[in-house]
C-alpha cells in the first residue's frame, strides 16, 4: 500500500468532527490520509478524545513537528480561519490538504486551491474558480463561471447561480440563494435563508428576501 499522508485537522468543533468523517469517507474509497487527530488552541481539551481522535496539541505543536505534515483548517468563521492559516503558513514543514467528499459531482473544468474542504452532496458545474482554504458545506450547488475567492465559507444548502463572484472571506448562511451575475463583497456575511438579487457591498451583514445590508463592519 502506498504511504499514507500524515494529516491533522485544525479545529475540534462540530465541523471539525464532520471533516474527520469526510476524511474517513475518502479513505474508504481510496486510502490517502493517516488522520493523527485534532489541533486546537483550547488547552482544556488537549489530550482528550473527540469521535475517537486525539486532540494532540495547539498550533505550536504543529509548527514544531520535525517532518512534513498535512493540515486542513476546519474553522467555519472565515477571518478566524485566515488568521490561523497565515500563522501555520510560517512552518516550512506544513502542507495544506484539499479534501473533497467522494459524493461531490464536479466537472474537470474547475480549479480548486489548497486547503479547501468540499462536503458531501455538493454539485459544482463548469468553468469555476474556487480559491484556497474555502469551505463548501453539505448540499451546495455552484453554477457555471463562478469565482469563489480565498477563505469563503458556504454553509449547508447554499445555491450559487452562474457568473457569481464571492470575494475573500465572505460567509454565506445556510439555505441562501444567490441569483445569476451577482457579487458579494469582501468580508461580508449573508444571513441564513437570504435571497441575493443585487450586489452585496464589502464588509456588511445582509439578510432577508431580497437580501439587504443591515450592518456595516468597521
List, run by run, the mean pLDDT of 10-residue segments along the chain (218 residues). Answer: 88 97 98 97 92 95 95 97 97 97 98 98 98 98 98 98 98 98 98 98 98 92
DSSP character for 200?
Answer: B
Burial class (CB in 10 A: 0-12, 13-18, 19+), 27: middle
pTM: 0.96
Tell whether domain 5-97 is in CATH 2.40.10.10.
Answer: no
144 annotated active-site: yes
Q: What is residue 94's predicted lDDT score, i.e. its pLDDT?
A: 97
Q: Which grid cell is 59?
A: 498550533
210 preceded by cis ω (within 30°)? yes
Of 5, 25, 144, 203, which is the active-site residue?
Answer: 144
Please name the fold of domain 103-200.
Answer: UDP N-Acetylglucosamine Acyltransferase; domain 1 (2.160.10)
Q: What is residue 1's predicted lDDT score, i.e. its pLDDT?
A: 45
Q: What is residue 217's predicted lDDT score, i.e. its pLDDT?
A: 86
- Other Cβ atoms closer than 10 A to 76: 17
Q: What is residue 2's predicted lDDT score, i.e. its pLDDT?
A: 62
Instruction: Evaluate whether 136 touches 119 at the Cβ level (below 8 Å).
Output: yes
Instruction: Evaluate whether 146 touches 164 at the Cβ level (below 8 Å).
Output: yes
Q: What is residue 35's predicted lDDT score, i.e. its pLDDT?
A: 98
Q: Which grid cell is 23?
A: 476524511
Instruction: Evaluate whether 144 touches 160 at the Cβ level (below 8 Å).
Output: no
Domain boundaries, the chain: 5-97, 103-200
Amino acid at each position: 500500500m502506498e504511504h499514507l499522508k500524515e494529516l491533522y485537522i485544525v479545529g475540534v468543533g462540530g465541523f471539525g468532527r464532520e471533516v474527520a468523517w469526510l476524511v474517513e469517507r475518502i479513505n474508504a474509497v481510496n486510502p490517502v490520509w493517516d488522520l493523527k487527530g485534532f489541533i486546537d488552541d483550547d488547552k482544556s481539551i488537549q489530550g482528550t478524545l473527540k469521535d475517537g481522535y486525539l486532540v494532540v496539541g495547539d498550533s505550536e505543536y504543529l509548527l514544531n513537528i520535525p517532518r512534513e505534515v498535512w493540515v486542513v483548517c476546519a474553522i467555519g468563521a472565515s477571518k478566524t480561519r485566515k488568521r490561523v492559516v497565515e500563522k501555520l503558513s510560517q512552518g516550512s514543514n506544513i502542507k495544506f490538504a484539499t479534501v473533497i467528499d467522494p459524493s461531490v459531482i464536479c466537472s474537470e473544468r474547475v480549479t480548486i486551491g489548497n486547503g479547501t474542504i468540499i462536503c458531501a452532496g455538493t454539485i459544482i458545474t463548469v468553468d469555476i474558480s474556487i480559491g484556497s482554504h474555502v469551505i463548501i458545506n453539505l448540499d451546495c450547488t455552484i453554477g457555471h463561471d463562478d469565482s469563489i475567492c480565498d477563505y469563503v465559507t458556504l454553509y449547508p444548502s447554499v445555491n450559487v447561480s452562474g457568473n457569481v463572484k464571492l470575494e475573500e472571506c465572505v460567509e454565506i448562511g445556510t439555505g441562501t440563494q444567490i441569483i445569476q451575475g451577482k457579487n458579494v463583497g469582501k468580508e461580508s456575511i449573508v444571513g441564513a435563508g437570504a435571497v441575493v438579487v443585487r450586489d452585496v457591498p464589502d464588509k456588511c451583514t445582509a439578510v432577508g428576501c431580497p437580501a439587504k445590508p443591515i450592518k456595516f463592519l468597521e
